[in-house]
Structure formats: structure tokens, C-alpha cells
């Protein structure tokens, strides 16, 4: 690697000062799992690395307005095992559990992953399906970006060089909601997805009609993709297998994967449809099973003693 300076600021104020000093020659480093590889490959050559690891309070996970706020420096593993995340939005913990190996998840951070913006990553489809937002902070203040507007191209985002991801926010889902994330891994268990799909569905009170649906996919384009036309097919419609199949067809039409060693474009397109359908089925099954369980676990009426 080429020589570089290494800064370890203790507060965001100090990070902003370092960023101002080095400008676009500097790179933030969090877990380093993506950046160090890129530096070794000489794809990036920063003259200064600004480590976020000593900045206090940037890895907090807490409740906010009924939803969850997760600090940009929280590791994938912290999200995966957080009892708060598991209780509130198990789908999120489950999705982060799918990333690579425990060794990678122990280092990789939520903010680092999003800023890296590899379209093959697992968390973005789930975060899009959950309607999450990203908080980007700089010396000039903060702005909140809906996550589906965050990614612009391969490894590209709307982040400005002076901005830091300080938080993501995952809103509370309405009652009657559930979700699923599926990662198609035909090669090895710790690989990137060949195709991934996340679905969050909200059923009406009878559990027979879709009140709302959000669907997103990974590894099928230059960015993670929200399948809006597939969602529209289901909204307000009865929960029926043919509706799920129609939505899967729309999702298939929305994606444009590249051919690579994980599969041809045509194969990935086909799998996008299959995995969207399965994710929807799993999300619905989770909700209807919950209803059935609630029914059967109701205490039996007491018998009168004679
Ligand atoms: C072997 C291996 C397997 C992997 N497999 C998977 C997988 O299966 N699924 C998956 O989803 N991912 C996978 N990953 C990718 C992994 O998720 C990313 O490498 C990781 O999320 C990057 O996070 P980091 O904290 O290490 O970022 P870093 O490497 O520290 O930084 C990455 C980029 O983000 C910038 N950055 C870091 N933090 C911030 C911040 N807070 N604000 C703004 N910019 C910031 C850096 O400047 C850099 O450009 C794998 C990685 C490895 C090494």
C-alpha cells in the first residue's frame, strides 16, 4: 500500500476538522473491511485515513419515535444480536446475520456498508422494504435521506465527500405487518447473494387483503432496486397465490442483472421472480401463523364445578 497519514479523532467536530484539512484526499475508515481491500488494489489512494472508531456515541442502538435509530458505527454483529432490534424489527437482525461471516460482521459497520454501496450487499433491500432513512452529517448540519434515494450507481451514493453517515432510522411498522429477507446462495454460505429479495407486507384486519407492500431486491442491477410495480399489483388485493405470482413477474421485469460467475443475466432475472414470490409467501405465512397461534393459545373456558 502507498503511505498515508492516519487520524483518530474523538468527536465529530474533530472529524469535520480533519475532513476540512485534507478535503477529497481523505477517506473515512470504519470497519475497514471494504476500504482496505480497495486500497490494496489501488482503486483508491487516500493520503489520509480518518478513523471513526474512537468517536464516542456513534454506535448506539436505541428506540426513537416508536422506531429504531442505529448509529453509523454500529457493527453488523451488534445489529444482529441486539435484543432491542430482535424485539422491534427481527427482520433487520435476521438480514444482518446473512452478511458474510462473524469475523466480517464483527468489523463491518452499518454506515461503512451503506457508503460502500456495493449493489450485492444484503442490508439495503431490507432497509428499503422497511422504509429506512439515512442521516448524513457534516460541519454544515445534517440531512435525512430516504434510503431508496441514497444509492445512485455501482459504489456511488448521494453522500458528499464531507458528509458522514451518523445514523439510520427504521420506522415502526403498522400493526399487522411482517417481513422476510431471502438470499439466494448457490455457491457457498458466506458468499454475496446471486439474488436477494426483501418483502414487508401489511395485511388488513381480516388478514385476507394486502393493505400495503414494499419489495426490494439486491444483486440485480447497479443499485438495490425497489419493485414498485410489483407492490402496486398487490396493494388492496386479496392474499392469493396468483396475485403473488403476478407480483413476482413484475419484479422480474424491473431488474437488469449482469452476467457474472454467480449466474447469467437471464438466470438471475428468473431467480429474482422466484425469490420475490418466496419472500412474499414467507412474510404472509409469518403473519397468518401468528394469527393461528393467537387463536390456539387462547385459554380454554373454565368448566363449572358441580
Ligand atoms: C470477505 C467479505 C465478505 C463480504 N460478504 C458480504 C455479504 O455477503 N453481504 C454483504 O452485505 N456484505 C458483504 N461484505 C461487505 C461488507 O458488508 C462491507 O465490506 C462492509 O459493510 C463495509 O463496512 P466497513 O465499516 O468495513 O466500511 P469501511 O471499509 O471502513 O468503509 C467503506 C467505505 O465507506 C466509507 N465510510 C465508512 N464509514 C462511513 C460513514 N460512517 N459515513 C460515510 N462514509 C463512511 C469509507 O470511506 C469507505 O469509502 C463482505 C466483505 C468482505 C471483506
Asked, for residue 117, whether it belongs to a domain, the answer is yes
Ligand 1 proximity of 184 Cβ (cutoff 6 Å): no
* Ligand 1, atom 44, residue with closest C-alpha: 115
In this model, does residue 173 exceed pLDDT 90? yes
Asked, for residue 303, whether it belongs to a domain, the answer is no
Mutate to test the pocket of ligand 1, among 25, 48, 71, 108 (most ligand atoms within 8 A of CB): 108
Indicate whether 290 and 189 sit together in one domain. yes
Indicate whether 290 and 182 sit together in one domain. yes
pLDDT at site 2:
85
75 Cα: distance to centroid of ligand 1 (angstroms): 10
Asked, for residue 299, whether it belongs to a domain, the answer is no
189 — pLDDT class (breaks 50, 70, 90): confident
Q: Residue 32 maps to which CATH number?
A: 3.30.43.10
Q: Domain residues for 98?
A: 61-170
Asked, for residue 215, whether it belongs to a domain, the answer is yes
Lowest mean pLDDT among 57-71, 241-255, 277-291: 277-291
pLDDT at site 27:
97
- Domain count within the chain: 3
Indicate whether 155 and 95 sit together in one domain. yes
Asked, for residue 305, whether it belongs to a domain, the answer is no
Indicate whether 157 and 182 sit together in one domain. no
In eight-state DSSP terms, residue 188 is -
Indicate whether 143 and 248 sit together in one domain. no
User: What are 192-238's pLDDT values in tens digits?
Assistant: 999 999 999 999 998 899 999 999 999 999 999 999 999 999 999 99
In this model, does residue 28 exceed pLDDT 70? yes
142-158 average pLDDT score: 98
E strands, the chain, are 5-7, 26-29, 48-51, 61-64, 67-71, 133-138, 141-146, 151-153, 156-157, 164-170, 177-184, 195-203, 210-218, 225-226
> pTM, whole model, 2 decimals?
0.94
Indicate whether 189 and 265 sit together in one domain. yes
Amino acid at each position: 500500500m502507498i503511505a498515508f497519514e492516519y487520524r483518530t479523532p474523538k468527536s465529530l467536530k474533530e472529524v469535520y476538522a480533519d475532513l476540512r484539512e485534507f478535503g477529497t484526499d481523505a477517506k473515512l475508515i470504519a470497519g475497514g473491511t471494504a476500504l482496505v481491500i480497495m486500497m490494496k488494489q489501488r482503486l483508491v489512494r487516500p493520503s489520509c485515513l480518518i478513523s471513526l472508531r474512537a468517536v464516542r456515541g456513534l454506535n448506539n442502538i436505541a428506540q426513537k419515535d416508536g422506531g429504531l435509530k442505529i448509529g453509523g458505527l454500529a457493527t453488523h454483529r451488534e445489529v444482529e444480536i441486539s435484543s432491542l432490534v430482535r424485539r422491534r424489527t427481527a427482520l433487520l437482525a435476521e438480514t444482518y446475520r446473512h452478511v458474510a461471516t462473524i469475523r466480517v460482521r464483527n468489523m463491518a459497520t452499518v454506515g461503512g456498508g451503506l457508503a460502500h454501496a456495493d449493489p450485492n450487499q444484503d442490508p439495503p433491500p431490507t432497509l428499503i422494504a422497511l422504509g429506512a432513512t439515512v442521516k448524513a452529517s457534516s460541519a454544515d448540519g445534517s440531512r435525512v435521506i430516504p434510503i431508496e434515494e441514497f444509492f445512485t450507481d455501482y459504489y456511488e451514493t448521494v453522500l458528499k465527500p464531507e458528509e458522514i453517515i451518523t445514523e439510520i432510522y427504521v420506522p415502526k411498522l403498522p400493526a399487522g405487518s411482517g417481513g422476510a429477507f431471502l438470499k439466494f446462495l448457490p455457491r457457498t454460505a458466506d458468499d454475496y447473494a446471486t439474488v436477494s429479495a426483501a418483502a414487508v407486507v401489511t395485511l388488513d384486519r381480516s388478514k385476507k387483503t394486502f393493505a400495503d407492500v414494499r419489495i426490494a431486491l439486491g444483486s440485480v442491477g447497479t443499485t438495490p432496486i425497489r419493485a414498485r410495480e410489483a407492490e402496486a399489483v398487490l396493494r388492496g388485493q386479496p392474499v392469493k397465490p396468483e396475485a403473488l405470482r403476478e407480483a413476482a413477474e413484475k419484479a422480474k421485469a424491473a431488474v437488469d442483472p449482469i452476467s457474472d460467475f454467480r449466474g447469467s443475466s437471464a438466470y438471475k432475472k428468473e431467480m429474482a421472480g422466484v425469490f420475490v414470490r418466496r419472500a412474499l409467501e414467507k412474510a404472509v405465512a409469518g403473519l397468518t401463523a401468528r394469527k393461528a397461534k393467537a387463536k390456539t393459545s387462547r385459554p380454554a373456558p373454565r368448566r363449572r364445578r358441580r
